[in-house]
Structure 1
Amino acid sequence: MNEMEKPTRVVVIPSPGFSHVASILEFAKRIVKLPNGIHVTLLIPTIANNGSPSEASKAILQSLPSTINYTFLPPIHDQELPQEAPIALTAQIAVSRSVPSIRHALMSLTSTSRLVAIVADLFGIDALILAKEMNLLSFVYCPSTAMTLSFCFFLPKLDDTVIGEFKEISEPVRIPGCVPVPGRDLPNPVQDRNSELYRNFLQRCKQLRFADGILVNSFREIEPGPIRELTEEGRGYPMVYPVGPIIQNGSGNETKFDQCLTWLDNHVPNSVIYVCFGSGGTLSQDQLNELAMGLELSGKKFLWVIRAPSESANASYLSGNNNNGGDPLRFLPSGFLDRTKKQGLVVPLWAPQAQILNHHAIGGFLTHCGWNSVLEGVMNGVPLIAWPLFAEQKMSAIFLSEDLKVALRVKANENGLVEREEVACVIRRLMEDEEYREIRRRMQSLKNVATESLQEEGSQNKILAQFAVHLMKN
Structure 2
Amino acid sequence: MEKENKNYVAHCLILPFPGQGHMNPMIQFSKRLIHKGVKVTLVTIISLWRTIKNKNLSSNIDVESISDGYDDGGYESAESLEIYMDTFWRVGSKDLSELLHKLSSSKYPPNCVIFDAFMPWALDVAKSFGLVGVAFFTQSCSVNSIYFHTHEKLIELPLTQSEYLLPGLPKLAQGDLPSFLYKYGSYPGYFDIVVNQFSNIGKADWILANTFYELEKEVVDWMVKIWPLRTIGPSIPSIFLDKRLKDDKEYGVSISDPNTEICIKWLNEKPKGSVVYVSFGSMAGLSEEQTQELALGLKDSESYFLWVVRESEQVKLPNGYVESSKKGLIVTWCPQLLVLTHEALGCFVTHCGWNSTLEALSIGVPLIAMPLWTDQVTNAKLIADVWKMGVRAIADEKEIVRSETIKNCIKEIIETEKGNEIKKNALKWKNLAKDSVDEGGRSDKNIEEFVAALAQC
Tell me the TM-score normalized by structure 2: 0.87
Give 1:136's aligned amino acid.
L
Does structure 2 retain, via aligned residues, the 8 Å contact 1:289–1:333?
A: yes
In the alignment, structure 1 residue 202 sits paired with structure 2 residue 195: yes
Change (3 A) 1:287 1:92: farther
CA deviation after TM superposition for structure 1 residue 93, in Å:
5.5
CA deviation after TM superposition for structure 1 residue 187, in Å:
2.1
In the alignment, structure 1 residue 180 sits paired with structure 2 residue 152: no
Give 2:287's aligned amino acid.
S
CA deviation after TM superposition for structure 1 residue 82, in Å:
6.4
Change (3 A) 1:251 1:207: closer
Deviations 1:373-416 (A, max 9, x none): 11111122110011112221111111111111111111112121
CA deviation after TM superposition for structure 1 residue 294, in Å:
1.2
Aligned pair count? Answer: 432
Equivalent residues in 2 for 1:315-464 (5 A)? 325=312, 328-341=313-326, 343-348=327-332, 350-464=333-447
Give 2:13's aligned amino acid.
V
Of 243-252 and 356-365, deviating more is 243-252
CA deviation after TM superposition for structure 1 residue 90, in Å:
4.5
Change (3 A) 1:161 1:25: closer
CA deviation after TM superposition for structure 1 residue 440, in Å:
0.4
CA distance in 1, matches of 2:86, 2:119: 6
Q: 2:12 aligns with which of 10, 13, 20?
A: 10
Match of 2:51 in 1: 53
CA deviation after TM superposition for structure 1 residue 197, in Å:
4.7
Match of 1:106 in 2: 100
SS of the residue aligned with 2:338? helix
SS of the residue aligned with 1:221? helix
SS of the residue aligned with 1:15? coil
Does structure 2 retain, via aligned residues, the 8 Å contact 1:276–1:304?
A: yes
Equivalent residues in 2 for 1:262-277 (5 A)? 262-277=265-280
CA deviation after TM superposition for structure 1 residue 10, in Å:
0.8
Change (3 A) 1:424 1:189: same
Match of 1:224 in 2: 217
Does structure 2 retain, via aligned residues, the 8 Å contact 1:173–1:180?
A: yes
Change (3 A) 1:93 1:255: closer
Match of 1:322 in 2: none
CA distance in 2, matches of 1:452, 1:51: 34
In the alignment, structure 1 residue 242 sits paired with structure 2 residue 231: yes
Change (3 A) 1:44 1:292: same
CA distance in 1, matches of 2:84, 2:401: 29
SS of the residue aligned with 1:54? coil
CA deviation after TM superposition for structure 1 residue 338, in Å:
2.9
Change (3 A) 1:182 1:433: same
CA deviation after TM superposition for structure 1 residue 278, in Å:
1.6
SS of the residue aligned with 1:365? strand
Deviations 1:209-241 (A, max 9, x none): 22111000111121111112122xxx332x111
Change (3 A) 1:357 1:24: same
CA deviation after TM superposition for structure 1 residue 196, in Å:
5.5
CA deviation after TM superposition for structure 1 residue 452, in Å:
1.6
CA deviation after TM superposition for structure 1 residue 255, in Å:
8.4
SS of the residue aligned with 1:178? coil
Tell me the TM-score normalized by structure 1: 0.84
Change (3 A) 1:461 1:295: same
Deviations 1:269-297 (A, max 9, x none): 11111101122231122221111111111
CA distance in 2, matches of 1:453, 1:65: 26
Give 1:445's aligned amino acid.
K
Change (3 A) 1:76 1:176: same
Does structure 2 retain, via aligned residues, the 8 Å contact 1:15–1:95?
A: no
Deviations 1:239-278 (A, max 9, x none): 1110011114425688852121111111111111110112
Does structure 2 retain, via aligned residues, the 8 Å contact 1:298–1:424?
A: yes
In the alignment, structure 1 residue 32 sits paired with structure 2 residue 34: yes
CA deviation after TM superposition for structure 1 residue 419, in Å:
1.7
CA deviation after TM superposition for structure 1 residue 142, in Å:
0.5
Change (3 A) 1:105 1:161: closer
Change (3 A) 1:456 1:201: closer
SS of the residue aligned with 1:382? coil
SS of the residue aligned with 2:135? strand
Match of 2:244 in 1: none
SS of the residue aligned with 2:81? coil
Change (3 A) 1:456 1:85: same
Does structure 2 retain, via aligned residues, the 8 Å contact 1:369–1:393?
A: yes
CA deviation after TM superposition for structure 1 residue 205, in Å:
2.0
CA distance in 2, matches of 1:398, 1:38: 37
Q: 2:79 aligns with which of 72, 78, 83?
A: 83
CA distance in 1, matches of 2:116, 2:87: 13
CA deviation after TM superposition for structure 1 residue 109, in Å:
0.6
In the alignment, structure 1 residue 145 sits paired with structure 2 residue 140: yes
CA distance in 2, matches of 1:144, 1:115: 26
Match of 1:318 in 2: none
Change (3 A) 1:364 1:192: same
Give 1:263's aligned amino acid.
W
Does structure 1 retain, via aligned residues, the 8 Å contact 2:17–2:23?
A: yes
In the alignment, structure 1 residue 42 sits paired with structure 2 residue 35: no
Change (3 A) 1:201 1:382: closer
Change (3 A) 1:23 1:92: farther
Deviations 1:168-214 (A, max 9, x none): 422x2222211122223322333426945545543332322221110
Change (3 A) 1:91 1:365: farther
CA distance in 2, matches of 1:94, 1:387: 32
Match of 1:285 in 2: 288
Does structure 1 retain, via aligned residues, the 8 Å contact 2:281–2:353?
A: yes
Does structure 2 retain, via aligned residues, the 8 Å contact 1:96–1:127?
A: no
SS of the residue aligned with 2:43? strand
Change (3 A) 1:189 1:461: same
CA deviation after TM superposition for structure 1 residue 96, in Å:
4.8
SS of the residue aligned with 1:123? coil
